[in-house]
Structure 1
Amino acid sequence: MNSKDSESFALCAVLRGPAECLSYRLPESCRGLNLVGRRVVVPLGYREAVAVVVAVEEHLPAHLGKEALKDIRLVVDEAPLLPEDLMRLCQWMSRYYFHPLPSVLEAVLPSSHFAHPERYYRLTQQGRHGLQGVGRPEGKSAGGLALERAFLESGELGPKDLESLPKGWKAHLKRLESLGWISRHDVWPSLVPSTKTQKIVVLRSVPDEKRIAASAHLRRFLTVLRDSGGTCPLADLRRQVPQASYWVRKLAAEGAIGVEERDILRESPLAQDLKPRALVTLTPEQQAAVAMMIEAVSSPTFKPFVLYGVTGSGKTEIYLRLIQETVDQGRTALVLVPEIALSTQLEAQFRARFGEALSVWHSGLASGVRDDQWKKITSGQASVVLGVRSAVLSPLKNVGLIVVDEEHDVSYKQDERLRYHARDVAVMRARIANVPVILGSATPSLQSFYHGRTGRYTLVTLRKRVEGRPLPHMHIVDMRRHRGPFRVLSPELVQALKETFQDGGQAMLFLNRRGFASFFLCRSCGAVLQCPHCAVSLTYHQSLERVLCHYCGHEEAVPGLCSACGKGSMVPFGFGTERVEEELHRTFPQVKTLRMDRDTMTCASKVVQTLEAFRSQKAHVLVGTQMITKGHDFPHVTLVGVINADTSLQISDFRSGETTAQLLMQVAGRAGRGEKPGRVVLQTYNPHHHVIQAAATLDYDHFCEHELTSRRTLQYPPFTRMARVLVTGPHGHVTAQAAAELGRMGRAVQAALKAKGIPLAILGPAPAPIQKLKRRYRYNLYVKAWTAEDLQTAVESLLEQAAQQAFLASVQVTVDRDPVSSL
């Protein structure tokens, strides 16, 4: 056997390194180990880096020579961090979304798992003689001289030492290194995530009764310890017992108690405070739904279900029953929700049912809590994982069920870097693990609805609300009839609010636009105040007395005279949630309001506080953007007001009708979920539009049939597959030329595939609806195919050709597969 074939080689994805995977030689000590999914330390140029082993191979690719390979330096993990099905999923995502595998793995791992080493410099023996002798190089700056003194004093300098030196040390450092007077080496920080410890007091023996009777503080101390089962955190004892520190020292010295340092697992602190619920009796519809899905859960097999149930029909209880069945079988369950605001409500419900077996995963958690939740998941302590989009990549082992709640929500789609859709990734993960997946919604995406109708997915329907509660009454207000002071709150909505407050109910007002005014316009020349970095208008925020760009964060003072003509004054037009809140205060001065949008919800804890305050009726009205539209269960809400139903209807995207119908029906579903019936006042300037009419009747089936007919005629998804190729660059003319050339290459690919009998459509390029964003010009090119395989082939061919064009290096080309927005 050739010596080359007798060795093993690891294909490694270097984190925060090259886009392609690199091959390394396995040292003798690593032979025979299961390294796939483990982190390793590898040499990379002049430094070391953390990598994840994605494959172990016996043969090198033909273009690589064994002599050029370097050895893996260190194996970090004792066991694979990522289970096999998750590694396969990451490789699928890399290919499907045209994204480098190392970057996909970076999205999976917490940032604490791929820390960078710190570079240190050590004075060599030759360098010490040189710096102390007459032949040393003279420092040309104060920084150079300070550098030499520091080396002579300590012998080794790290990043913090160097940063404290005067300017000029960098050039002199390179000079000393070129002479061989200093050597560099990397010091790795701990690659083990942080652990929090806690002092625990353990009761070992009880003092005699006379001593206990003589001291009230000692009696209290022992009572707290006994009530805690003989062990209690020292911090809790100090809070509950006077002079606790004294008794700890005294009893520990006598051996009556012990004080131990134990690791503690930090849990999510963001669950809403909900009243405990008794186990409910399922309705006949719920029982039928569970019966349809229980077999796939009991004998796991890949089977996608679309749980299509009206708002308030009890979908969450169905999830809980099926998850309990999964856990009882010794398997795990993964539950996805679209936003942190919704996860905090479900966390309380799931915690009541599954206790410490629940793990929560989202960006609202502190880094230490995320580290502990990661350990809880990887160690197998968590049977159920609840989280937002990124939780679909959690390292859950032995998965038995995946649930995607509110599966229609566009928040599941990531719109930067790795542009994946968590719902689609969840379906693929279920396929790889051979387990069922449930896609639940009152307004399923057209894709899922279509798959359910055609039999690709199993459609399970819930047509009635629990306890026989009626759906809310819908009332359309034609805003074309109202002018002046009624353009925010119509008389009909004001009257409905009065009646709601008199009846002791609560109201929710929805407007999917934040701020006070949408833009400033010059009365003289008509100029609109624009962001200098983006092709959008600046939004006025009255509470800040500033105008802001909601895309790049640019802000300015409120304008006086128009900068374009220098004559006219700038006047605010349009309105957002801040203006709605002000109109409420003006109309109902005694009414307490809360507002939920990105301006007010600055952290996850603020979201929890606001939702709990509204649920406990500390406010009469909740005003908000789409944050308030989905999943929330407020039993005292009897009125929902939609301030402008047309906002998302005017977006230049073929999905705008679908998005609008879903938003309106979802927010309408927040009304009447308690004992009293609900109603919805829907303000619109397009009362006869088919989307508005569908929302007014809450007939989502009819809307879907109408929309699918239109999509079939125009050959849009779900009847075709699409990819958006986004070209961005800092210079408008160069970016336009690059987009045009990419379009030419796309048409060449189209012609080549047509010759093979494969139909393909190339649309564009054209300026994106927001042509400039964060100082970069943007162009869209769409690739449309009739099968996923043909789309894969077409985009891969296009990217291969683009990689060979040097002039495209001046722009960034990004592929957004299955786009949900054209903006």
Structure 2
Amino acid sequence: MPPLSPAALILIPHYPQQLYTYVIPESLQKIYAGHMVRVPFGSNVHVGLVAEIIETTETSHLKTIEAIVDESFELPSSMLSLARWMASYYLAPLGTCLQLMLPPMFRHGIKERFMITPLGRMMAAGSGRGRATQHAILTRLQSAKQGLTSQYLRRQFRNRRITPALTALKKYGHIESYVNLPSATQHATRSNNGRIEPSAADEIAHDLLRDASLPSPLASAIRKGRSQTFVLQAPLKCRTGVYLQAIRETIKKRRSCLVIFPHASQARAFSSAIRPYLAGHISDWFGTRTPSHRTSEWYRVQSGDATVVIGTRSSVVSPTMKLGLVIVDEEHDFRHKVDHEPRYHTREIALARASKEMATVILGSLHPSVEAIHMTQSKKAVVVAAPPTKHIQRASTTQPDVSVQCIDMQTVRRAGRIFSEPLLNAIDTRVKNREPVILFQPRRGFSRALWCRD
């Protein structure tokens, strides 16, 4: 039986539907899962992620890994484990799950670039010598300080065979190739101010943040580092104060936090409101940012410079280190569910990740989802209420009493009317007195009309 040889399953970001097997050469035996490597793929060279190390006997038809692109980059083992769980739970390709966790510039694919060598410059200086296509490529590369990609050269020389020419030039040492990989040092100087509108902070009163307190079960779980789930059923302003205090307690334990909202406007308002209290800790993962800016934020979080990630559903797979707290606000909102592959739900990923990394989870909502209620009934989660602040208490004492009258709408429907008689009389009275009337139709869910005739 032939001896087993080490090999690696590689994710190519351009082709995430499957993983590709490559042989690990003896000079690169220190390759681990999570490393970025340079591999030949077709007639090009791509940067891929090592998803798994395996052993195989059939190596004759396999290509070999060329090099480790950046030894300082390594996707954490916890993220690799989470990707495998996602692939199994949602029946999705492992490659598409791993692709979510890469820096944005990696997801778009890192392209190989070609530069001319001193020998190539000598070749280009001898006009008319060598093949015409090779000479034209060398001439074009002489003026390109950063090199050129094969895609660019194909566009410039549409009627010529570029790939064989590049292969020959590289073989004889006239050109050399490299991969311009984004690194932490390239993005370390970028600021994290973000494009936060000052008016967004007005949505949340800062006195509520300052005076909020943590429910004792939640505070105990954070301090002891327990993986426990809490359903926080409270209004938005009360939830925000609890979130801030929970984040503060988590930072004291030298652990990171992840705060997820269903919409970018909500994440922007929360980030702007708590920024005065947590300056320098926040990384924003929402809004329309360039891939370069999102990559810089990815490295800030991965290096530990930013310990509080605030974003929308994609931030659930951010590379936060030593995760201690996960907050999913408005957990009932349907926008937490992704409708393209892999079709995951933010709440489920947050719960799975918190379980693997021993983090506390807060599911916040004034109207918890059916899933959250089921978790509390099956003892998988604990319901907590935000302690009312003095501002909420003061406001409640000044509010007038409101009379509520319940009407059986079945009798109204049988009479062929849409509105009940008491409602019509009340509207008529207000109109005659020139007073305003507001008709509020509460509707949550997806049905435009739901009527029970039983």
TM surpasses 0.5:
yes
What's the counterpart of residue 44 of structure 2? 47
Letter in 2 for 1:15: P
| 2:309 corresponds to 1:396 | no
Match of 2:262 among 329, 333, 338: 338
Paired residue for 1:665?
A: none
Residue identity matched to 1:420: Y
Aligned equivalents of 2:328, 2:138: Cα separation in 1: 62
Are 2:193 and 1:267 equivalent residues in the alignment?
Answer: yes
Identity of aligned residues (%): 25
Alignment of 1:3-82 (within 5 A): 4-5=3-4, 7-17=5-15, 19-32=17-30, 35-57=32-54, 59-60=55-56, 65-82=58-75
2:246 equivalent in structure 1: 322
Partner of 1:410: 334
Distance 2:366 2:251 in 1: 26
> What is the CA distance between 1:415 and its match in structure 2?
0.7
**Matches for 1:148-167 after TM superposition, within 5 Å:** 150=136, 154=140, 159-160=151-152, 162-164=154-156
Query: Residues 44 and 112 of structure 2 are in contact (CA less than 8 Å); yes or no, is this contact kept in structure 1?
Result: no
Q: Judging changes above 3 Å, is the alpha-carbon distance between structure 1 residues 376 and 271 closer, same or farther for their aligned structure 2 residues? A: farther
Q: Say which SS state the counterpart of residue 17 (structure 2) adopts.
A: coil
SS in 1 for 2:206: coil
User: In the TM superposition, what is the alpha-carbon distance from 1:454 to its structure 2 partner?
Assistant: 2.8
Corresponding residue for residue 109 of structure 1: 102
Read off the aligned partner of 2:191 and give its amino acid letter.
L
Cα distance between partner residues in 1 of 2:30 and 2:185: 31
Match of 2:377 among 421, 433, 453: 453
Shift of 1:11: 2.5
Q: Structure 1 residue 467 and structure 2 residue 414: aligned?
A: no
State whether residues 326 and 332 of structure 1, in contact with CA within 8 Å, keep that contact through their aligned partners in structure 2.
Answer: yes
Give the deviation of 1:28 after TM superposition.
3.0
Q: Provide the C-alpha distance between the structure 1 equivalents of 2:386 and 2:439, rounded to a whole number of angstroms.
A: 25
Q: Determine if contact 2:134/2:169 at 8 Å carries over to the other structure.
A: no
Residue 88 (structure 1) aligned with residue 13 (structure 2):
no
Matched with 2:293 is 369
Change (3 A) 1:196 1:31: closer
Verify the 8 A CA contact 1:272 1:345 in the aligned structure 2.
no
Q: Per the alignment, in what secondary structure is the counterpart of residue 418 of structure 1?
A: coil
Alignment partner, residue 277 of structure 1: 206
2:352 match: secondary structure = helix
Query: Is the Cα contact below 8 Å between 2:46 and 2:112 reproduced in 1?
Result: no
Where does structure 1 lack aligned partners over 5 or more consecutive residues? Answer: 137-144, 198-261, 483-489, 501-638, 658-688, 692-709, 711-823
Counterpart position of 1:382: 306
User: Aligned in 2, Cα 1:4/1:18: closer, same or farther, shift over 3 Å?
Assistant: farther
CA shift at 1:85, angstroms?
1.4
- Equivalent position amino acid for 1:17 in 2: Y
Q: Which has the larger radius of gyration?
A: 1
Q: Which residue of 2 aligns with 1:190?
A: 180
Task: Rate the CA distance shift 1:414–1:495 in 2: closer, same or farther, 3 A.
Answer: farther
CA drift of 1:392 comes to 0.4
Give the Å deviation of 1:436. 1.7
- Where 1:353 maps in the other structure, the secondary structure is coil
Structure-1 separation of matches of 2:341 and 2:97: 9
Q: Post-superposition shift, 1:401? A: 1.2
Separation in 1 of the partners of 2:72 and 2:384? Answer: 40
Task: Give the letter aligned to residue 163 of structure 1.
Answer: R
Unaligned runs of 5+ in 2: 143-147, 420-425
Amino acid at match of 1:192: P
**Residue-by-residue CA offset, 1:228-248 (whole Å, 9 max, x unaligned):** xxxxxxxxxxxxxxxxxxxxx
RMSD: 4.4
**Matched position secondary structure for 1:341:** helix
With over 3 angstroms needed to count, the CA separation of the structure-2 counterparts of 1:388 and 1:150, relative to structure 1, is same
- Say if 1:359 and 1:373, in contact at 8 Å, map to a contact too: yes
CA deviation string 1:6-43 (max 9, x = no partner): x533222222225222332223343245x222211112
Shift in alpha-carbon separation, 1:31–1:690, aligned structure 2, 3 A: same
Partner of 2:228: 303
1:293 aligns with 2:283: no
Contact 1:265 1:372 in 2 (8 A): no
Please give the secondary structure, in 2, of the residue aligned with 1:452.
helix
After TM superposition, give the deviation of residue 88 of structure 1 in Å: 0.7
Aligned pairs for 1:276-675 within 5 A = 277-278=206-207, 280-282=210-212, 290-309=215-234, 311-312=235-236, 314-462=238-386, 466-467=392-393, 469-470=395-396, 642=440, 650=447
Q: Distance in 2 between matches of 1:155 and 1:343?
A: 46
**CA distance in structure 2 between the partners assigned to 1:367 and 1:154 by the alignment:** 28
Separation of aligned partners in 2, 1:98 and 1:436: 27
Question: 2:260 touches 2:313 (CA, 8 Å); kept in 1?
Answer: yes
Contact in 2 for aligned 1:313/1:464 (Cα 8 Å): no
Report Cα offsets for 1:74-114 as digits up to 9, x if no partner.
Answer: 21232344222121111111111111111112222233125
Tell me the residue number matched to 2:422. Answer: none
Mapped contact 2:324–2:359 kept (Cα < 8 A): yes
Q: Distance in 2 between matches of 1:435 and 1:181?
A: 54
Write the mapping of 1:739-778 to structure 2, written as runs, cut at 5 A: none
SS at match of 2:385: strand
* Aligned-partner residue type, residue 44 of structure 1: F
**Which AA in structure 2 matches 1:10?**
A
Shift of 1:312: 4.9
Cα distance in 1, alignment partners of residues 312 and 106 from structure 2 = 20
1:770-790 CA-to-partner distances (Å, cap 9, x unmatched) read xxxxxxxxxxxxxxxxxxxxx
Q: Distance in 1 between matches of 2:113 and 2:210?
A: 60
Query: How does 1:117-266 map onto structure 2 within 5 Å?
Result: 117-118=111-112, 150=136, 154=140, 159-160=151-152, 162-164=154-156, 169-170=158-159, 172-173=160-161, 177=164, 187-192=177-182, 263-266=189-192
**Offset of residue 4 of structure 1:** 2.9
**Greater RCO (Cα-Cα under 8 Å, separation 6 or more):** 2
Q: 1:10 to 1:25 in 2, by over 3 A?
A: same
Distance 1:26 1:399 in 2: 33
**What amino acid sits opposite 1:277 in the alignment?**
H
Q: Counterpart amino acid of 1:9?
A: A
- Tell me, in whole angstroms, the C-alpha distance in 1 between the residues paired with 2:444 and 2:219: 41
Task: Report the Cα distance in structure 1 between the residues aligned to 2:238 and 2:8, rounded to whole angstroms.
Answer: 49
Measure how far apart 1:54 and its partner are. 2.0
Q: How has the CA–CA distance of structure 1 residues 645 and 319 changed in structure 2, closer, same or farther, with 3 Å as cutoff?
A: closer
Residues 425-472 of structure 1 show CA distances to partners (whole Å, capped at 9, x for unaligned) of 000001111222111110111111122123221122359783254599
Measured in 2, the distance between the counterparts of 1:409 and 1:380 equals 30
The aligned counterpart of 1:508 is none
Q: Which structure dedicates a bigger proportion of its chain to strand?
A: 1
CA deviation vs aligned residue, 1:687-714 (integer Å, no higher than 9, x gap): xx579xxxxxxxxxxxxxxxxxx9xxxx
